[in-house]
Amino acid sequence: MEAKLSLFSAYENIELAEKVLADLARSFMDEEGIYWAAMALREALANAIKHGNKLNPEKRVLVTIHLEEERELRITVEDEGEGFDPSQLADPRSPENLLKEHGRGVFYIRHFMDEVSFGRSATGGSKVELVKRLSRRST
């Protein structure tokens, strides 16, 4: 089962993508599992809209949600920005970063999902792929 969304760079669209994920996953995952996957999707989309496309309404974010029963949930989020280097991200738990306003999004994504990988989208922007492995009824 798969859904593909092409979204304008507006925060309101995060709600839409979250709803599509929840509707799609309802038969395969429990409420808790959907909640945390949706939180990861929110963070990835917010990054794409804000840091990738810099809120430019003419730029799109492409979201693909792919579900294989009892196997995995795979989400990709692609933007039309300039890409970024995830190795440059600091640990938000370090004492010097603890009270910083920004810099926790990717850390949360990694915590909520089983696998996270970063690459380049077809337009040269960022592409992030999130995987949650599913058991019979996954959390």
Q: Which has the closest alpha carbon to 9: 56, 42, 51?
A: 56
For the chain, first and last CA: distance in Å? Answer: 19
**Identity at 71, one-letter amino acid code:** R
73 touches 30 (CB < 8 A): no
Q: What are the φ and ψ backbone dihedral angles of 89, each rounded to 5 degrees?
A: -80, 135
Residue 107 as a binder of other proteins (CB under 8 A): the answer is: yes
Of 11 and 124, which has the nearer Cβ to other proteins? Answer: 11
Minimum distance of other proteins from residue 69's CB (angstroms): 26
With CB under 8 A as the contact rule, which of the stretches 22-30, 34-42, 69-77, 119-127 interacts with other proteins? 34-42
Q: How is the beta sheet containing 115-120 ordered, strand by strand?
A: 2-8, 60-68, 72-78, 126-133, 115-120
With CB under 8 A as the contact rule, which of the stretches 37-45, 64-72, 115-123, 130-138 interacts with other proteins? 37-45
Which residue from 4, 11, 23, 137 is in contact with other proteins, where contact means CB under 8 A? 11
Residue 111 as a binder of other proteins (CB under 8 A): the answer is: yes
Binding site for other proteins (CB under 8 A): 11-12, 14, 35, 39, 42-43, 46, 50, 92-93, 98-102, 104-105, 107-108, 111
